[in-house]
Amino acid sequence: MCTMASGIVNGIGGVRAQSFTFRYQSSITSGKTVPMKTNHFFLSISLFVLMLAAAMFAQVSPAPSANLALTPPMGWNSWNKFACNVSEDMIKGMADAVVKSGMKDAGYVYVNIDDCWQVSRDASGNVVADPQRFPHGMKAVGDYIHSLGLKFGVYSDAGSKTCAGRPGGLGHEYQDAIQYAAWGVDYLKYDWCNTTTQDARASYANIRAALDASGRPIVLSICEWGTAKPWLWGKEVGGNLWRTTGDIQDRWGGQEKWPDGSCCSNGVLSILDQQVGLQSYAGPGHWNDPDMLEVGNGGMSDVEYRSHFSLWALLAAPLLAGNDLRSMSPAIHDILTNKEVIAVDQDPLGREGERVAKNGDLEVWAKQLKDGGRAVVLLNRGAGEQEITANWEDLGYPSTISASVRDLWQHKDLGKSTGKFSARVASHGVVMVTVKP
Ligand code: GLA
């Protein structure tokens, strides 16, 4: 037995398999000549055992993507403000601004280029970055982003073309993954345009396998707009986040048709309503994605942007800023870098919050925190200021207990309350607190 074990170890180098076979046989054949056939037999057994050991090792060794996005990813993405107007200079300027504005210190780490960085494929099928807009290529952009201690994201599409008509990934998944890894890509947003009859689950499993085969840990953002309910399978196929809805637009209200008449873009409230009931699907490493932030893009008031940001944090949503960080107002800066609100989003328990009470336009949203406390958002969707009450029982606490309340926008302890907490809330505004028994 012992000889056999050491034989396996010896055999791992391959070259020594023969010497093991010889020693093993000599001990059982008492020096008799061993026929070649037996030699082959033992060699095959050794190789089989080795392959089995290798297969077992492969099974237990985690994929490079294990343990990614244990809290919701935070960063910046080009689409909401710049659409196809992306370039090396702009992206580098934005990466600088992530650092200079204090956003890096607040937790924002990914700098993600959305659609339109790519123009074609070369004769070997390699994806080609726009040579005018990215004259030094994508690796140079990634290197610059990494030199600032940030991470680099790119965008592609599971179909033949991206939504803006650029080359998609279909049929090039493994080739692209190798390319991304060579560029130092840390995050891939994978869209769902031009996918005709493709199966969503299989397509995203395929790109995850390709990314893992590249050997580089790469966050996979499934951008399938919720059509095939990715919350039901996104985690299983190795997605780290999945869009739950169609695209956000920089406005407060409901759904509206796109200019071409197709349905529909979503305001903040419309996206919010589509999150109801999805909370159990989110957790460390796999998040519901209600789309990127519009904070600071000009279509809403600062009050509405504060609500948008508070609600996304309560939903444990990925926080991907989408504004021009090089020129934001102090009010927008203070919203995006509110560390107390960000801490709710990034709470390590990884629970997504949910709507726990609704009375017409007045709503209470709550999220369980790791320390046993709750983050609570009182939301007033109506036209005038109103008082809103969060009852302890709606938060999962007995009404008899006393708990400390802290206002996360005023950065102020509000003392202890028993049974409930009430506040006056501006139209389209929120009051956001933590409640700690
Ligand atoms: C889709 C996505 C958006 C954006 C664009 C780019 O609409 O949902 O987030 O990536 O494509 O073309």
Residue nearest (by alpha carbon) to ligand 1 atom 11: 163
Read off the pTM: 0.87
> At 283, is the pLDDT very low, low, confident or very high (cuts 50, 70, 90)?
very high
Of 52 and 139, more confident: 139
Residue nearest (by alpha carbon) to ligand 1 atom 12: 163
Residues 257-269 pLDDT 10s: 998 999 899 999 9
Q: How far away, in angstroms, is 223 Cα from ligand 1 center?
A: 8
In whole angstroms, give the CA distance from residue 138 to residue 149: 17
Mutate to test the pocket of ligand 1, among 243, 247, 271 (most ligand atoms within 8 A of CB): 247
| Closest among 149, 133, 30 to 90, alpha carbons compared | 133
CA-atom Rg of the chain in angstroms: 27
Within 13 Å of residue 162, how many CA atoms lie on the same side as its CB?
18
pLDDT of amino acid 143:
99
Q: Determine whether 247 is an active site residue.
A: yes
Residues 145-188 pLDDT 10s: 999 999 999 999 999 999 999 999 999 999 999 999 999 999 99
* Catalytic residue, candidates 191, 212, 289, 324: 191
**19-28, 109-118, 284-293: least confidently modelled range:** 19-28
Residue nearest (by alpha carbon) to ligand 1 atom 1: 163
| Closest among 63, 322, 307 to 189, alpha carbons compared | 322
Q: Count other Cβ atoms within 10 Å, centred on residue 424.
A: 12
Residue nearest (by alpha carbon) to ligand 1 atom 5: 163
Residues 85-115 pLDDT 10s: 999 999 999 999 999 999 999 999 999 999 9
What is the mean predicted confidence (pLDDT) over 308-313?
A: 99
Q: Determine whether 212 is an active site residue.
A: no
In whole angstroms, give the CA distance from residue 98 to residue 150: 9
Of all residues in the chain, the percent with pLDDT exceeding 70 is 86
In whole angstroms, give the CA distance from residue 286 to residue 239: 7
Ligand 1, pocket residues at CB < 6 Å? 79, 114-115, 155, 162-164, 191, 223, 247
pLDDT of amino acid 139:
98
> At 61, is the pLDDT very low, low, confident or very high (cuts 50, 70, 90)?
confident
DSSP string, 181-218: HHHT--EEEEE-TT-TT--HHHHHHHHHHHHHHTTS--
